Chain A
């Protein structure tokens, strides 16, 4: 089986400081990978390198494209990479303001990716926007409201709908539940888990919340100071942490 995403020896430094280094893994179709670690451990740098927002200093990010098979996205031309970003890839930001157009209605936000890949029929765009708002549990009568009028949890759900509308195969998520209260978090996680399973998505989720990866991720990578210190099946890593830092991380979770 060809991996959907194959990452080899990614290195990114900011001047003399290391962002992330020596990272490599394979992600197979339908698999969800979690990346955990403390602030400043290079999680977001890594994610941005993979998603093409940052260019790493060396390494390969090989994506199994629909048309041409496995290709290194770092050596792709920019139009091709941006096209991937609109079709087969999705990126969910921690802050929905970064991922949404705040001055455009919810329907327009969901429809933007469709129009970006050439949809030119208003009725069809409107129908799939309505359909997707329903799937992320936003009432259909809110379709013409601006995201400003939405709560934080709704904004995050809207962002997810906007990203999944073109049927991507790989979703990058940067702390998708950060900044939400626990009950809203729980609903969002439920929703995400349902969508990921139903659509057979592959996902890479960056978070510092171990509960999120326990719920969503099949596999886990633990990062510290820009390096991967431990990797394995989620339950295995969380129940039997080997590295000192992972042990610290697992034992730091507050029990209610």
Chain B
């Protein structure tokens, strides 16, 4: 513990990141460049999110880390351990107890409060990247609010699949100004982005930080005749029976057997503790 500064990063680095976060909060959806540091984990494992979390953490904070909604997957476990060792903060798996939640690819089912910060790990912060490869051009497009190209992507979706097939990293417009990539969360989570908590996005390799302040208007892009739809698998959870949560499909054998379970493990466990039971969990109910 004494070998590291609190939360791994040195104070000057945290100061630099906090300045970027403040600027991001001041201009919702705008990608603020920052001097991303080498972290003791590979790019793609959440180096951006970890740096943002490190800059936000205080010794009194309680940290929760999720990966695809789950607390017990490799990425989540290793980052949680990382902060246990380098910051010595308390960790939790309960959404409502945490003050800082670092996430990859999900927003917790339980609504966040004003006292909570949600930190996203972002692989590619530029929503226009695959349509316009030039960074100089995309910056200009953001600056001049030229977002017609984003609809070309949705147009292509409809012309090929008959509906908007983009199901994750669905582009949103923040506070009527910047078009933003919400990181690869399922579009089911898009409506939740208008929340009470502060949302911070960190992209380590791409060296960008952006933010959505609490209660900010976040609109998913769509066409008038093909409106946005927050889709999910059309099942209830097989463990807790929840009908309104985002589900993972799990293959259970090689004969076509499958089950649908909540991707948010804490939400699912909480419901099971409260006595809710799903299709495959019924016998234990008695």
Contact = CB atoms under 8 A, between A and B. Distances in A.
Interface string B148-169: 1101100110111000000000
Q: Is the interface of B mostly helix, strand, loop or mixed?
A: helix
A20 B226 CA distance: 50
Q: Is the interface of A mostly helix, strand, loop or mixed?
A: helix
A112 B149 contact: yes
Contact of B144 (A78, A105, A112, A126): A78
A122 B148 CA distance: 13
Given A78-B144, A115-B151, A121 B223 contact: yes
Given A121-B224, A121-B225, A116 B155 contact: no
A144 B160 contact: yes
B179 to A, nearest CB: 13
Contacts of B156: 104-105, 108
A79 interface: yes
A143 interface: yes
A82 interface: yes
B87 to A, nearest CB: 44
**Size category, B interface:** 10 to 19
B146 to A, nearest CB: 7
Interface string B119-151: 000000000000100000000000010101101
A122 B144 contact: no
B225 A107 contact: no
Of A105, A112, A113, A115, most B-chain CB atoms within 10 Å: A115
B159 A120 contact: no
B144 A115 contact: no
B146 A116 contact: yes
A125 interface: yes
Given A79-B144, A108-B156, A144-B159, 14 more contacts: A82-B144, A104-B131, A104-B152, A105-B156, A108-B152, A111-B155, A112-B149, A117-B148, A121-B223, A121-B224, A122-B158, A125-B155, A126-B159, A144-B160
